């Protein structure tokens, strides 16, 4: 039989690389086949989520940037400056986190989803049409964010005018001036040519892009224990692969951007410049506790404990 797996990126982008590794593992270790659906083949993120929930898709990769509207607790990933940028620390956090591996699965299960894994996709950077060195520079800037209420709050706190849009509308909206900024990891800014429609990249260090891979729960529950174990092993192999694949990817992508467009300005904000952005973290965290669902406090506390454990190594 053939299992259908949709993701939010192109085949050669991070989610696509993960999906290809997963497919390779499943097909090498079972008689099942996986059919991959990259971004654009089945609609936007909201569409593929509906398809996964209804069982048209067996697997889906969707970032909490979109799932936050469905599972309020998943908005926690948009409290600014919560996640570290250190690759090893991040990998250990995602692998060992109790919040992710024990507390989130029942919340996803309530939505008909078996949460298989979450993994990091890189430091999030702003790309804008004008320079950004302080929150004041975001005043009057219509800034595209994923459709996640807490991400909207976070950009309000940064001083921008947040504009939630599905991914497919971002390039055109920058081109026509409907928005003047967006945020994403460097690999994605490079591969989707965001540098063609913006002139400045700003590293504020406020987040690392998190994504999640899920199965339709009814489908997963109906599998033999052997198949479930085979899937879990394939996910684990793909996790290790994708962490390794991303080593050096941020800097390589920034180099490629500079090669493609030498006039691009990349600014890594100093600690001093980051301070006013960091000062918003407490209020956004407070907002999360308001809108992050019944388990918001418990998830936040556990996540912080997990991050502290990962930092200790």
What single-letter DSSP state applies at residue 74?
G
Site track for ligand 6CS across 198-237, x = CB under 6 A: -----------x----------------------------
Least CB distance to ligand 6CS at residue 272 (A): 29
Structure tokens at 176: 């026509």
Nearer to ligand 6CS, 90 or 300 (CB): 90
Helix (H, G, I), strand (E, B) or coil at 81: coil
C-alpha angle with apex 97: 217 to 250, nearest 5 degrees?
A: 95
Least CB distance to ligand 6CS at residue 38 (A): 11
Helix (H, G, I), strand (E, B) or coil at 60: strand
In the set 77, 94, 167, 220, which binds ligand 6CS (CB under 6 A)? Answer: 167
CB atoms under 10 Å from CB of 63, counted, come to 23
Taking CA atoms, 151 is separated from 137, 155, 165, in Å, by 18, 6, 12
Q: Which stretch binds ligand 6CS (CB under 6 A): 28-36, 184-192, 228-236, 266-274?
A: 184-192
Nearer to ligand 6CS, 16 or 72 (CB): 16
Residue 63 sits in the site that holds ligand 6CS (CB under 6 A): yes
Nearer to ligand 6CS, 53 or 63 (CB): 63
Structure tokens at 204: 């504020």
Nearer to ligand 6CS, 66 or 300 (CB): 66
In the set 26, 38, 45, 108, which binds ligand 6CS (CB under 6 A)? Answer: 45
Taking CA atoms, 176 is separated from 44, 194, 197, 225, in Å, by 21, 13, 9, 52
- Give the up-direction half-sphere exposure of residue 170: CA atoms within 13 A in the CB hemisphere: 26
Site for ligand 6CS in 98-127 (CB under 6 A): 121
First to last CA, the chain: 42
Q: Which stretch binds ligand 6CS (CB under 6 A): 81-89, 182-190, 224-232, 278-286?
A: 182-190
Nearest CA to 291 among 89, 78, 37, 24? 78
In the set 118, 146, 235, 300, which binds ligand 6CS (CB under 6 A)? Answer: 146
Cα separation, 99 vs 82, in Å, equals: 14
Residue 9 sits in the site that holds ligand 6CS (CB under 6 A): yes
Site for ligand 6CS in 270-289 (CB under 6 A): none
Nearer to ligand 6CS, 13 or 153 (CB): 13
Least CB distance to ligand 6CS at residue 195 (A): 15
Size of the site for ligand 6CS (CB under 6 A): 11
In the set 3, 4, 6, 8, which binds ligand 6CS (CB under 6 A)? Answer: 8
Q: With 0-12 CB in 10 A as exposed, 13-18 as middle and 19+ as buried, what is 293?
A: middle
Helix (H, G, I), strand (E, B) or coil at 287: helix
Nearest CA to 269 among 112, 120, 125, 128? 125
* Residues engaged in binding ligand 6CS (CB under 6 A): 8-9, 45, 63, 121, 146, 167, 184-185, 188, 209
């Amino acid at each position: 039989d053939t299992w259908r797996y949709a993701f939010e990126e192109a085949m050669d982008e991070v989610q696509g690389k993960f999906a290809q590794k997963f497919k390779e593992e499943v097909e090498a270790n079972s008689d099942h086949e996986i059919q991959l659906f990259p971004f654009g083949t089945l609609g936007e993120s909201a569409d593929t989520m509906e398809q996964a929930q209804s069982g048209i898709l067996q697997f889906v990769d969707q970032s909490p940037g979109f799932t936050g509207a469905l599972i309020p607790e998943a908005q926690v990933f948009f409290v600014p400056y919560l996640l570290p940028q250190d690759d090893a620390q991040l990998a250990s956090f995602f692998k060992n986190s109790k919040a992710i591996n024990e507390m989130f699965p029942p919340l996803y299960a309530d939505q008909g989803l078996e949460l298989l894994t979450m993994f990091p996709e890189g430091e999030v950077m702003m790309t804008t049409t004008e320079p950004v060195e302080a929150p004041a520079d975001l005043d009057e800037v219509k800034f595209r964010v994923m459709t996640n209420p807490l991400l909207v709050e976070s950009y309000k706190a940064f001083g921008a005018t947040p504009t939630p849009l599905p991914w497919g509308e971002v390039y055109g909206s920058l081109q026509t001036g409907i928005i003047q900024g967006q945020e994403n990891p460097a690999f994605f800014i490079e591969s989707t040519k965001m540098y063609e429609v913006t002139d400045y990249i700003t590293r504020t260090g406020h987040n690392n892009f998190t994504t999640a891979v899920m199965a339709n729960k009814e489908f997963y529950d109906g599998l033999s224990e052997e198949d479930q174990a085979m899937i879990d092993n394939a996910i684990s192999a793909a996790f290790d692969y994708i962490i390794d694949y991303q080593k050096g990817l941020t800097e390589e992508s920034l180099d490629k951007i500079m090669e493609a467009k030498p006039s691009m300005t990349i600014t890594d904000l100093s600690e001093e410049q980051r301070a006013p952005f960091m000062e918003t973290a407490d209020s956004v965290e407070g907002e999360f506790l308001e809108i992050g669902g019944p388990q918001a406090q418990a998830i936040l506390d556990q996540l912080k404990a997990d991050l502290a454990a990962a930092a200790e190594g």
